[in-house]
Amino acid sequence: MKICLVEDDQIMGESLCDRFALEGMAYDWCQTATEALTRIGGKDYGVVVSDIRLPDLSGEDLFSRILAREGYVPPFLFITGYGAVDRAVHLLKLGASDYITKPFDIELLIEKIRTLTRFPPQPSRLAGAAPKLGISPAMRRIEEMLPRIAEHANSILITGESGVGKERVAQLLHALGDPENAKAFVPVNCAALSESLLEAELFGYEKGSFTGAARAKKGVFEQAEGGTLFLDEIGEMPLAMQVKLLRALQERKIVRVGGERTIAVDFRLVCATNRDLQELVVAGSFREDLFYRINLIHLRIPALRERRDDIPWLARIFLAEHARAHPANAKRLSVAAEAALAAHDWPGNVRELQHCLERACILSDRPVLDRSDLFDDRAQERAASADAGAISLNDYLQRCERHYILEVLDQQGWQMNRTAIALGISRKNLWEKMRRLGIASEHMQNS
């Protein structure tokens, strides 16, 4: 099965081809409708992905001519701007399969291609390994993708609410690409710097280029040579800087502020934002060509309230870190405290959870943290009211059982035999409990 991509925009075409290669999808890239006409029919394509606006013929003309010449067309998926949705709908009536509207998420495009073809998804690589990002299915899926991304992709976009752990994902991605820890991970918060400071931070500067530049300094593009450049809050970058960033990404060359010499750079770019870049593109505050350049791979990190299985897992990690730093003040959670953590919505996500536990460890003089150590009286009342109104005793006991089994699974590296032995039950009984409690088992090791 092969994709025929018909796209005249160089940046979008390169980004799509890079992603197809990363997904293991074979493709041909045609930059004109005329070239596509010569290829389609001579080859058996699984799907044609075509822009509606092309330099020689429209996508509609391309579709109609192939249909008239061959008597049939492969599945056609059209790329269209907001102003041409009516034309895309008209093409659906003529027999096209689907369309996607700019600015689009590449993940959605890949999903549509898989729906229209028989391209299989990439196999899992976790094979029962102890989780590093979380035990919830959503975080395990993200972790599954990272080794392949680290091997092949040079541009990754990470999105999610503030505090969900976007930089942690970027650091793990860097570590997978640099197992010997020999290369730099360079983080930059784009929202924390003015436009002039951001330019100097990114590109560096030569001695005397501005007042206070007493010596030359390398920018982060050079500092990240061979490693990873992490641009946090990329959605806050001024438009003028977006142009310069795009040029640096295209040419892989930069010129320092106040300099003339061109410097070649080589790095993996990871961008992160808590904003919707597609909405910013529509609003005109983020460049569409830069969006497609950095959006080769898009990882959305769910909010903590969307992956409640991770709450007790993260809590145990934070308490273990506190115990290592302060052995005489080690803490653990009561069952009621763990249930209260799991029921809370955590608007500040992982960062809020960590601060909550740190505060409780400092202020409480008891070895076992209770609900009262974690939340103020009003929060306790709201949580207690919610528990009383919505959770029966049976549901509460099932929740406790589920949390404990997940904890032991984590301790035993998600291996069935070892987990069953640690729990004092049979492997069959463990499978039955996991199925009844809705614990994902696709990552269990069959040993």
Q: What does the pLDDT read at residue 384?
A: 47
Beta-bridge partner residues of 77: 49, 98
DSSP symbols for 73-129 = ---EEEEE-GGGHHHHHHHHHHT--EEEESS--HHHHHHHHHHHS-PPPPPP--TTP
Q: Would you state the structure tokens that stand for residue 67, as one six-digit string?
A: 């249909």
Burial of 381 (0-12, 13-18, 19+ CB in 10 A): exposed
Q: Determine the longest span between alpha carbons in the chain, in angstroms.
A: 82
- Rounded CA-CA distance 416/408 in Å is 10
Peptide linkage before 147 cis (omega within 30 of 0): no
- Rounded CA-CA distance 442/439 in Å is 9
- Among left, alpha and beta (phi > 0; psi -120 to 50; other), residue 364 is beta
Q: Would you state the structure tokens that stand for residue 58, as one six-digit string?
A: 């429209």
How far, rounded to the nearest angstrom, does the alpha carbon of residue 215 sit from its chain's CA centroid?
38
- Rounded CA-CA distance 271/157 in Å is 5
Location of structure tokens 């392949």: 148
Residues in the chain: 447
Q: What does the pLDDT read at residue 16?
A: 92
Q: What does the pLDDT read at residue 444?
A: 44
- Rounded CA-CA distance 369/322 in Å is 13
DSSP symbols for 3-51 = EEEE---HHHHHHHHHHHHHTT-EEEEESSHHHHHHHBTTB--SEEEEE
Q: What does the pLDDT read at residue 443?
A: 43
Main-chain dihedrals φ then ψ at residue 159, nearest 5 degrees: -125, 160
pLDDT digit string (tens) for the chain, length 447 residues:
799 999 999 888 988 998 898 888 899 999 999 999 999 876 788 899 999 999 999 988 999 998 888 888 889 999 987 666 777 788 888 888 888 888 888 888 988 998 888 665 555 455 445 788 988 888 988 998 899 899 888 899 999 999 999 999 999 999 999 988 899 999 999 998 888 889 999 999 998 887 777 788 999 999 999 999 999 999 999 999 999 999 999 999 999 988 989 999 999 999 999 999 999 998 999 999 999 999 888 999 999 999 988 998 899 999 999 999 999 999 999 888 888 898 899 999 999 999 999 999 999 999 999 999 998 755 544 544 444 444 556 666 777 787 788 878 877 877 888 888 888 888 888 887 887 776 754 344 333
- Rounded CA-CA distance 37/63 in Å is 9
The helix (H) or strand (E) run that includes residue 270 is strand 268-273
Q: pTM for the complete prediction? A: 0.71
The helix (H) or strand (E) run that includes residue 204 is strand 204-205
Structural domains in the chain plus CATH codes: 2-116 (3.40.50.2300), 153-302 (3.40.50.300), 303-391 (1.10.8.60)
Main-chain dihedrals φ then ψ at residue 368, nearest 5 degrees: -110, 120
Q: What does the pLDDT read at residue 183?
A: 93
Beta-bridge partner residues of 301: none
Q: Would you state the structure tokens that stand for residue 107, as one six-digit string?
A: 């993940």
